[in-house]
Amino acid sequence: MNELIQRLTAEAGLTPEQAQKAVATIAGFVKEKFPMLGGAVDQIFAAGTKEDE
């Protein structure tokens, strides 16, 4: 997830906080629209959390 946040800050000009909120929003959207992917989405986005830095 850290790589995605870094890309959002570099390419979209978001602050790290904005990027993290955007990623969380997208993850929530995917889980809502595709509940069968909920566990996979959680694993993908938990793979590199901000706390791991």
Burial of 48 (0-12, 13-18, 19+ CB in 10 A): middle
Of the candidates 22, 28, 20, the one whose C-alpha atom is nearest the C-alpha of residue 49 is 20
The pLDDT of residue 20 is: 92
Q: What is the CA radius of gyration of the chain?
A: 11
The pLDDT of residue 45 is: 78
Residue 27 has pLDDT above 80, yes or no: yes
The pLDDT of residue 48 is: 57
Q: What is the mean pLDDT of the chain?
A: 86
**Averaged over 3-27, what is the pLDDT?**
94
Q: Give the predicted TM-score (pTM) of the model.
A: 0.73
Residue 49 has pLDDT above 60, yes or no: no
Distance in angstroms (rounded) separating the CA atoms of residues 37 and 46: 14
Sorted by where each begins, the domain ranges of the chain are: 2-52
